[in-house]
């Protein structure tokens, strides 16, 4: 069995994966969303302190589940990219376990982990596959050729898809993380949408950009505040009628998804890879899934998505990625392995 640890942002998670059949035997995560929500985003120092509190308690729980750790053959841990003060908590725990149990340590790239969220409980991995990674930190189109080669085809030049949801939710004082909250507001809204821009619509490149749309949404919110005669510095979402919030959320989400689909449309025209996947925390967005499903049908691509449980950060995907490394005999040098908050990976070309 492999024990995996994920602590790159605001989730403290541990999983145990069976080597023989990739079966997920144990998985637990403690989310810090509630603690960060009051600040409208992740506070790094708070995240770090909460990891020191939550990770040992999840580890203790996993030990009670197994009885003891004698059946473990490797420890996998996310070392990049992510928040430095959060990554370090997971790595220190992983090093301690690896040294005390005398088993190898395998460092895992978080983004490759998201790719493997598609194959939890599954021994077969499909290559080549084109992947849209939409998370709080990244918006990328990747081509996964094999376990050691992930090519970045396009990425955001500024904010990420998930981050723009978080920022719009913050502007509306709706809490954190913004993605699920905004999606919830859009669900029953069927009336007219505000006219917000579709980013980089006339550019032929595949790059993404969300900061312009975020600012256009900010201006739309200010206009709505003026039209409703609210105080400019209103603080509570309850002060704005639910219908106004829903209209802003639905208009923003529609433009953000349109932008993704516009670029994917261009990418599909040039790509011959038949398998396509959406991964990352924001791949849980059902409207995004539905639009991409339509696009895939149009271009004869087979769409893969992770189960909703494994879209956001979790240690199960880290264990599944680590299993591939373990099978290839790869392990890290415990003395030199370190966190790399900004690095993507040397597996990305
Ligand atoms: O992958 P993830 O859990 O963490 C990172 O690696 O960043 O992704 C979290 C991001 C947050 O920005 C969150 O708002 C966004 O994913 N997200 C969503 C939805 N659920 C989570 N964005 C849009 N729609 C959703 N339903
Ligand atoms: Zn993530």
**Is the CB of 113 inside a 6 Å radius of any atom of ligand 1?**
no
**Nearest atom, ligand 1, residue 163 CA:** 12
Ligand 1 atom closest to the Cα of residue 137 is 7
* Ranges under pLDDT 70 in the chain: 232-238, 344-346, 348-349
How far is ligand 2, taken at its centre, from the CA of residue 11, in Å?
9
Could you list which residues have their CB under 5 Å from ion ligand 2? 135, 313
Confirm if 325 and 331 have CB atoms less than 8 A apart. Answer: yes
Q: Using a 6 Å cutoff on CB, does residue 104 contact ligand 1?
A: no
Considering only CA atoms, which of 31, 91, 83, 24 is closest in space to residue 321? 24
- How far apart CA 143 and CA 151 sit, in angstroms, is 5
Distance 29 CA to ligand 2 centre (A): 13
Among 83, 133, 135, 255, say which to mutate for ligand 1: greatest number of ligand atoms within 8 Å of CB.
135
Pocket test for ligand 1, best of 9, 116, 131, 136 (most atoms within 8 A of CB): 136
Q: How far is the CA of 261 from the centre of ligand 2 (A)?
A: 21
Q: Residue 20, Cβ neighbours under 10 Å: how many?
A: 8
Distance 236 CA to ligand 2 centre (A): 29
Query: What's phi and psi for 201, nearest 5 deg?
Result: -60, -40
Say how far apart CA 318 and CA 110 lie, in whole Å: 7
Answer for the pair 112, 347: CB distance below 8 angstroms, yes or no: yes
Q: What is the pLDDT of residue 235?
A: 66
Interatomic CA distance for residues 320 and 109, integer angstroms = 12
| Pocket mutation for ligand 1, best pick of 30, 110, 162, 311 (most atoms within 8 Å of C-beta) | 162
306 lines ligand 1 (CB under 6 A): no
Pocket lining: 209 vs ligand 1, CB cutoff 6 Å: no
Q: How far is the CA of 190 from the centre of ligand 1 (A)?
A: 24
CA of 329 to the centre of ligand 1 (A): 33
Residue 312, ligand 1, Cβ within 6 A: yes
């Amino acid at each position: 069995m492999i024990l995996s640890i994920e602590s790159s942002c605001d989730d403290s998670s541990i999983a145990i994966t069976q080597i023989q059949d990739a079966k997920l035997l144990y998985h637990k995560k403690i989310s810090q969303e509630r603690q960060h929500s009051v600040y409208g985003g992740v506070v790094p120092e708070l995240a770090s302190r909460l990891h020191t509190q939550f990770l040992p308690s999840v580890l203790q729980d996993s030990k009670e589940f197994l009885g003891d750790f004698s059946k473990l053959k490797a420890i996998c841990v996310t070392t990049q990219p992510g928040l430095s003060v959060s990554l370090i908590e997971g790595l220190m725990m992983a090093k301690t376990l690896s040294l005390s149990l005398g088993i190898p340590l395998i460092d895992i790239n978080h983004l490759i982990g998201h790719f493997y969220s598609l194959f939890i409980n599954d021994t077969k991995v499909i290559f080549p596959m084109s992947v849209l990674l939409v998370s709080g930190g990244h918006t990328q189109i990747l081509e996964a050729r094999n376990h050691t080669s992930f090519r970045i085809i396009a990425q955001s030049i500024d904010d990420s898809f998930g981050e723009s949801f978080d920022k719009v939710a913050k502007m509306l004082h709706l809490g954190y993380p913004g993605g699920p909250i905004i999606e919830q507001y859009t669900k029953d809204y069927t009336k007219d949408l505000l006219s917000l821009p579709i980013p980089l619509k006339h550019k032929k490149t595949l790059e993404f950009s969300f900061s312009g749309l975020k600012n256009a949404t900010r201006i739309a919110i200010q206009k709505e505040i003026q039209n409703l005669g609210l105080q400019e510095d209103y603080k509570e979402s309850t002060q704005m009628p639910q219908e106004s919030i829903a209209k802003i959320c639905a208009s923003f989400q529609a433009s953000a998804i349109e932008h993704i689909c516009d670029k994917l449309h261009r990418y599909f025209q040039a790509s011959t890879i038949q398998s396509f996947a959406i991964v990352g925390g924001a791949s849980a967005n059902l409207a995004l899934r539905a639009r991409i499903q339509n696009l895939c049908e149009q271009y004869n691509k087979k769409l893969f998505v992770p189960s909703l449980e494994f879209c956001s950060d979790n240690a199960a995907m880290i264990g599944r990625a680590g299993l591939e490394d373990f099978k290839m005999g790869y392990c890290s040098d415990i003395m030199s392995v370190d966190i790399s908050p900004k690095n993507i990976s040397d597996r990305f070309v």
